[in-house]
Amino acid sequence: MMPVALALTVPTVVALGASADGSSPWWASLVPLVPVVAIFWFVILLPARRKQQKIESFLGALKVGDRVITTGGIYGQVTKLGDQVVQIQIADKIRIDVARASIGGYQGQPAVVEGNE
């Protein structure tokens, strides 16, 4: 008589989960998908979420007097803040309105928002 531990070999254990017609269970086809989704999450989605949070915190911290550069390469000083629009002074008595999302970063520091290149 065989011991129970030897009777349950790998093919036997796999066959226990198979249906009577020989096809594998529905969840067996999802097993390879789990690592792919996990890799996608950690390589693409998580860094993108962190970058978006960094951009939102930067744009939320803007204040009058900050020296900024836009994603289009315009240097200026913030003179007025709105919900969606920021007014920057680019020269003496010359002020322009730009979208808040187009502010790329502070002058002399690495860009927080990458421009269209």
More confident residue, 92 or 28: 92
Q: What is the pLDDT of residue 76?
A: 95
Q: Over pLDDT 90: what percentage of the chain?
A: 50
pTM of the model: 0.62
- AA letter at 85: V
Residue showing tokens 């036997």: 12
18 in Cβ contact with 24 (< 8 Å):
yes
What's 54-80 look like in SS3?
HHHHHHHCCCCCCEEEECCCCEEEEEE
- AA letter at 100: R
Whether 17 shows a pLDDT value over 60: the answer reads no
- Please tell me the distance from the alpha carbon of residue 38 to that of residue 42, in angstroms, as a whole number: 6
**Does the structural domain 33-106 have CATH classification 2.30.30?**
yes
Whether 60 shows a pLDDT value over 70: the answer reads yes
In this prediction, residue 6 has a pLDDT band, given cuts at 50, 70 and 90, of very low
Q: What is the mean pLDDT of residues 32-59?
A: 90
Q: What is the mean pLDDT of residues 63-84?
A: 94
Q: What is the mean pLDDT of residues 40-50?
A: 90
